[in-house]
Chains A and B, each alone.
Chain A
Amino acid sequence: MSATVARRHESRIGEDLDEARLAHGMPVFVLTRPGYDKKFASFATRYGSVDSRFRRPGGDWVTVPDGIAHFLEHQMFAQEYGDAFERFSEYGASANAFTSYTNTTYLFSCTDRFADSLRLLLEFVQQPYFTDAGTNKERGIIQQEIRMYRDNPGWRLSEGIKAALYQRHPFRLDIAGTVESVEAISTDLLRMCWDTFYHPSNMVVSVVGDVDPAEVVAMVEESLAAHPRAEQGPIERDVADEPDAIAKPRVDAEMAVSRPVIALGFKETDTAVSGDAVLLRDMATEICLEALAGKSSPLYNRLYEAGRIDSTFHSYYHGERDFGLSVLSGETADPDAFVSAWMDGVKSLLASGVDPAAFERQKRRMTGEFASSFNSPESLSYALNATHFAGSDLFAYGRLLDGITLADVNARLHQHFDPSRTGVSVVSPKA
């Protein structure tokens, strides 16, 4: 017992990060926050909605129903003693979980009885209690959840842009699956997915708060020892053979909204990256988007002043290892005019390159925002997990930001903002 805890220091923002590697190589990260009452812990597996076809070493390829990772997330809280949520409530903690395209994360925050809650988190995620009655009851709740999302215009818009850009990759589907696909999810399938992906070799724990890192590491180590698992080699995931070309130029939906809402998307095709390159790709893309469409950009100002966009306009980039997209989105009276104005902007930015002064200002802004991100225990914990799954680490961000050059950004601009790989999603008022 007692794994070595290694400490690293980030001098600019005055933060220490402790890390230990435990059984099956599972890392534990602890970021101590002196003076904070709140303690936040998350336990995550690299398993999300896109992992619908996979095989374990020596096994056969399996295809599972869409939405199963999310269903499993719901089902894990059902324990032999009752509901794990309620146990957290007894400890005065607030627990939750969420499923993304690539990860499932279990978390809690508390101010008292941290050790009890951390033991509980580690235990219930490693010790599922599947029953057919539980599976059937949860199905009704999940179908309500899916219906709730369907009434959300932002959700419909984002489903539309994925469907426009992606031909095969399961990223194009809803994380929760469909009312129909969850019908096919059985207790046996849930157990098989848990057994495959909820293995320490595929997981990470991160804790943020005023805690003792050595004690946290010892508790995780103890819990892993209490739930021993056989060695498991790497899981093979079927990364769909997604072409660079988009699926269809435009996807339309109608619902009870006040005005049309539009998303103009650029498909990610730089999909062979890992480690620090993932973080660099994020940074460079963000700078491109700000130079193109940020509030300080000339085009944003021109379009705002002309009434073509308003304060609902925003842009974002979401990139994972093998898929991703950049989006320009907002309400607009005229979706076609929105597209042509921004496409003209992209073409002229491709011709001129990113303005060096804008590049320096964005670096400055991101330096400040990296520091402020350390205010929030939640987002720190998620960032620790995400950078680990990407094959990099949280403290690399500051160093990489210092080193990024205008040439890096312009290279990314030309690689990613390709006018031939764009799609549009529009949600219009229902007549």
Chain B
Amino acid sequence: MRVFHTPSRKFKTVTIRVYLHAPLRADVATRTAVVPHVLARGTRNLPTLGDLARRCEELYGAGLGAGVAKIGEAQSLYVGVEAVEDRFLPQAAKAIAGSVALLRELLLEPARDAGGLLRADVVAQEKENLAHRIQALINDKIRYSGMRLVEEMCRGEPFGLHAYGRLEDLPQVDAAAVTARYDDLIANAPVDVFAVGGDPSLGDELAAAFGHLGGGGEVPATTVGQAPAEPRRVTETQPVDQAKLNLGYRTPVTLGSPGHGAMVMYSGILGGFPHSKLFRNVREKASLAYYASSRYEPLKGLLVVAAGIEPRRRDDALRIIEEQVADMAAGRITREEFDQTRSGLRNRLSSAEDSPGAMIDMAAEESMVGAVRTLEQRLAAIDAVTDADVAAVARDVRLDTVYFLTSPQEGASA
């Protein structure tokens, strides 16, 4: 088990998140995804949602959470809590100690039935809820189209799976399977504990609470794939007013490789900011889209471009987006674009230090490939990037998949 604690007195709260990492695998992903929702239904001593909620209220509004996240090709179960530091509460309040104890109880002492299994009625219900959650992914078209792009692009790779798993695997999930999965994770999964805020002694308290966990294995590694010779093109239709155009690119550059800083700069110049090529050319110049941006997935080596456009203007949008990517590869980047992106990234990295949640997200990602960096190290990595570095990584960015979600009328003619 590793503990990453950043003591601080600038926040009003202490934020703690505990991750149990497992390789993202089709055969167990779905039952793994049920586990945190079963844990969140109650513990041995606090067996109902109401009991847990009342306990949180007594702890001055402690925020308790549990879920699964996809971090590279790891499926990571997490439980977390955020609670107000005692010094801002009425005298004798012990919200932090109480919250650490509650988090420990949530993860390690779930309610079980007489036979030692996680409760069958709760598992059945959370299985049903997970089915609804998977089906509801279609509701938010921006997220849905982003997810579908990755699913098409990484078909056959673990990364193509959603952190929630697959609907078709749910029928095999029962209380015995979920209990076995939970017991296996507790016994064998590598465990990382992240905390922000509080006194330095909190790190020791967390080590005492969770120190016996972690089977000693390594955190799961992520594989890097290659783009096909000819890009895949996928069109899907739904009754929508606005179409979504998503393009997926591959890069061999990942977090931990020497070109990482340059690739972060690349994505920023292309589509990370209002001054970026995509926003200016797709939205501002051509009035084509409400949003047009790019995002770099640094563990898997993906670059994803997303735009919301009028259905009939797909070809215009596609052409302008591909022109911007071609300009990047040809090194057509102005001094302003470069400098503004660098200061924008510096601002983002520094600002993240003021948000406990953002600090933990960044640390969790970095911890998958080694050490968690300090802000100074992150800034230095961006400052060191040259035009030549960006040009070098730009040459290896390859289009893999074009995904288009549109209305049935337009889809028929597309």
A371 adjacent to B241 (CB under 8 Å): no
Query: Which B residues, 335 to 352, have Cβ-Cβ distances below 8 Å to chain A?
Result: 336, 339-340, 343-344, 346-348, 350-351
A92 adjacent to B347 (CB under 8 Å): yes
* Contact A112/B274 with A13-B88, A152-B141 known, Cβ cut-off 8 Å: no
A213 and B308 alpha carbons, distance in the complex (Å): 41
Query: Pick the contact of A112 from B62, B291, B343 — CB < 8 Å?
Result: B343
Chain B residues with Cβ below 8 Å from A420 are none
A145 adjacent to B290 (CB under 8 Å): yes
Query: Pick the contact of A307 from B128, B136, B350 — CB < 8 Å?
Result: B128
Query: Pick the contact of B60 from A35, A112, A255, A364 — CB < 8 Å?
Result: A364
A14 adjacent to B49 (CB under 8 Å): no
A138 and B95 alpha carbons, distance in the complex (Å): 50
| 30 A–B pairs (Cβ distance < 8 Å), ordered by A | A13-B12, A38-B353, A86-B275, A89-B274, A90-B343, A91-B343, A92-B340, A92-B346, A93-B347, A95-B274, A111-B347, A111-B350, A144-B242, A144-B309, A147-B242, A256-B138, A256-B240, A259-B136, A295-B49, A295-B50, A295-B53, A296-B53, A296-B54, A305-B125, A367-B90, A368-B61, A371-B84, A372-B84, A375-B12, A430-B239
* Contact A368/B62 with A89-B273, A375-B12, A376-B355 known, Cβ cut-off 8 Å: yes
Chain B residues with Cβ below 8 Å from A307 are 125, 128
A147 and B309 alpha carbons, distance in the complex (Å): 9
B12 adjacent to A374 (CB under 8 Å): yes
Chain B residues with Cβ below 8 Å from A37 are 350-351, 353-354
Q: Tell whether A335 is near chain B: CB-to-CB under 8 Å.
A: no
Q: A36-B354, A112-B347, A366-B61 are in contact. List 8 more A-B contacts (CB 8 A).
A: A38-B350, A85-B274, A145-B290, A153-B139, A256-B138, A294-B53, A374-B12, A376-B355
* Contact A301/B50 with A361-B57, A365-B56, A368-B84 known, Cβ cut-off 8 Å: yes
A415 and B300 alpha carbons, distance in the complex (Å): 55
**From residue B55, how far is it (CB to closest CB) to chain A in Å?**
9
A152 and B240 alpha carbons, distance in the complex (Å): 9
A196 and B129 alpha carbons, distance in the complex (Å): 51
B242 adjacent to A151 (CB under 8 Å): yes
* A153 to B, closest residue via Cβ: B139
Chain B residues with Cβ below 8 Å from A145 are 290
A90 adjacent to B287 (CB under 8 Å): no
A368 and B81 alpha carbons, distance in the complex (Å): 14
B356 adjacent to A90 (CB under 8 Å): no
Q: Tell whether A103 is near chain B: CB-to-CB under 8 Å.
A: no
A301 and B48 alpha carbons, distance in the complex (Å): 8
A311 adjacent to B129 (CB under 8 Å): yes
* B276 to A, closest residue via Cβ: A89
Q: Tell whether A258 is near chain B: CB-to-CB under 8 Å.
A: yes
Chain B residues with Cβ below 8 Å from A88 are 274
Query: Pick the contact of B49 from A109, A300, A369 — CB < 8 Å?
Result: A300
What class of interface size applies to chain B in its complex with A? 35 or more
Q: Tell whether B89 is near chain A: CB-to-CB under 8 Å.
A: yes
Q: Tell whether A140 is near chain B: CB-to-CB under 8 Å.
A: yes
Nearest first, the 3 A-B pairs at minimum CB distance are: A92-B343, A368-B60, A368-B61
**From residue B293, how far is it (CB to closest CB) to chain A in Å?**
13
**From residue B87, how far is it (CB to closest CB) to chain A in Å?**
8
Q: Tell whether A419 is near chain B: CB-to-CB under 8 Å.
A: no
* Contact A144/B289 with A37-B350, A110-B347, A295-B53 known, Cβ cut-off 8 Å: yes
Q: Tell whether B319 is near chain A: CB-to-CB under 8 Å.
A: no
Q: Using a CB–CB distance below 8 Å, which chain B residues touch chain A?
A: 8-13, 37, 48-50, 52-54, 56-62, 82-84, 87-90, 95, 125, 128-129, 132, 135-136, 138-142, 238-242, 273-275, 283-284, 287-291, 308-310, 336, 339-340, 343-344, 346-348, 350-351, 353-356
A144 adjacent to B141 (CB under 8 Å): no
Chain B residues with Cβ below 8 Å from A312 are 132, 136
B354 adjacent to A377 (CB under 8 Å): yes
Query: Which A residues, 113 to 144, have Cβ-Cβ distances below 8 Å to chain B?
Result: 137, 140-141, 144
**From residue B314, how far is it (CB to closest CB) to chain A in Å?**
14
Chain B residues with Cβ below 8 Å from A371 are 12-13, 60, 84, 88-89
**From residue B347, how far is it (CB to closest CB) to chain A in Å?**
5
Q: Tell whether A174 is near chain B: CB-to-CB under 8 Å.
A: no
Q: Tell whether A34 is near chain B: CB-to-CB under 8 Å.
A: yes
Highest count of chain B CB atoms <10 Å: which of A92, A298, A362, A366 = A92
**From residue A131, how far is it (CB to closest CB) to chain B in Å?**
15
Q: How many A-B residue pairs have CB under 8 A?
A: 189
A151 and B238 alpha carbons, distance in the complex (Å): 10
A256 and B8 alpha carbons, distance in the complex (Å): 46
Chain B residues with Cβ below 8 Å from A310 are 129, 132
Chain A residues with Cβ below 8 Å from B353 are 37-38
A141 adjacent to B283 (CB under 8 Å): yes
Q: Tell whether A83 is near chain B: CB-to-CB under 8 Å.
A: yes
Chain B residues with Cβ below 8 Å from A14 are 87-88
Query: Pick the contact of A151 from B135, B141, B287, B346 — CB < 8 Å?
Result: B141
* A12 to B, closest residue via Cβ: B88
Interface of A is mostly: mixed
Chain A residues with Cβ below 8 Å from B135 are 258-259
Chain A residues with Cβ below 8 Å from B339 are 90
A141 adjacent to B242 (CB under 8 Å): no
Chain B residues with Cβ below 8 Å from A112 are 343, 346-347
Query: Pick the contact of A364 from B13, B58, B139, B340 — CB < 8 Å?
Result: B58
**From residue B265, how far is it (CB to closest CB) to chain A in Å?**
14
**From residue B134, how far is it (CB to closest CB) to chain A in Å?**
9
B132 adjacent to A367 (CB under 8 Å): no
Chain A residues with Cβ below 8 Å from B287 are 137, 140-141
Chain A residues with Cβ below 8 Å from B125 are 305, 307
Q: Tell whether A4 is near chain B: CB-to-CB under 8 Å.
A: no
B89 adjacent to A367 (CB under 8 Å): yes
* A298 to B, closest residue via Cβ: B50
A372 adjacent to B61 (CB under 8 Å): yes
**From residue B119, how far is it (CB to closest CB) to chain A in Å?**
11
Chain B residues with Cβ below 8 Å from A98 are none
Query: Which A residues, 51 to 107, have Cβ-Cβ distances below 8 Å to chain B?
Result: 83, 85-86, 88-95
**From residue A404, how far is it (CB to closest CB) to chain B in Å?**
16
Chain A residues with Cβ below 8 Å from B347 are 92-94, 109-112
* Contact A35/B9 with A89-B273, A92-B343, A150-B241 known, Cβ cut-off 8 Å: yes
B132 adjacent to A368 (CB under 8 Å): no
Q: Tell whether A316 is near chain B: CB-to-CB under 8 Å.
A: no
A14 and B82 alpha carbons, distance in the complex (Å): 19
A364 and B141 alpha carbons, distance in the complex (Å): 39
Chain B residues with Cβ below 8 Å from A366 are 61
**From residue A296, how far is it (CB to closest CB) to chain B in Å?**
4
**From residue A83, how far is it (CB to closest CB) to chain B in Å?**
7
**From residue B295, how far is it (CB to closest CB) to chain A in Å?**
16
A297 and B52 alpha carbons, distance in the complex (Å): 11
A93 and B128 alpha carbons, distance in the complex (Å): 45
Query: Which A residues, 341 to 363, have Cβ-Cβ distances below 8 Å to chain B?
Result: 361-362
Chain A residues with Cβ below 8 Å from B348 are 94
B344 adjacent to A94 (CB under 8 Å): yes
* A306 to B, closest residue via Cβ: B125
A385 and B275 alpha carbons, distance in the complex (Å): 28
A13 and B84 alpha carbons, distance in the complex (Å): 10
Chain B residues with Cβ below 8 Å from A259 are 132, 135-136
A331 and B136 alpha carbons, distance in the complex (Å): 9
A375 adjacent to B11 (CB under 8 Å): yes
A361 adjacent to B54 (CB under 8 Å): yes
A36 and B354 alpha carbons, distance in the complex (Å): 6
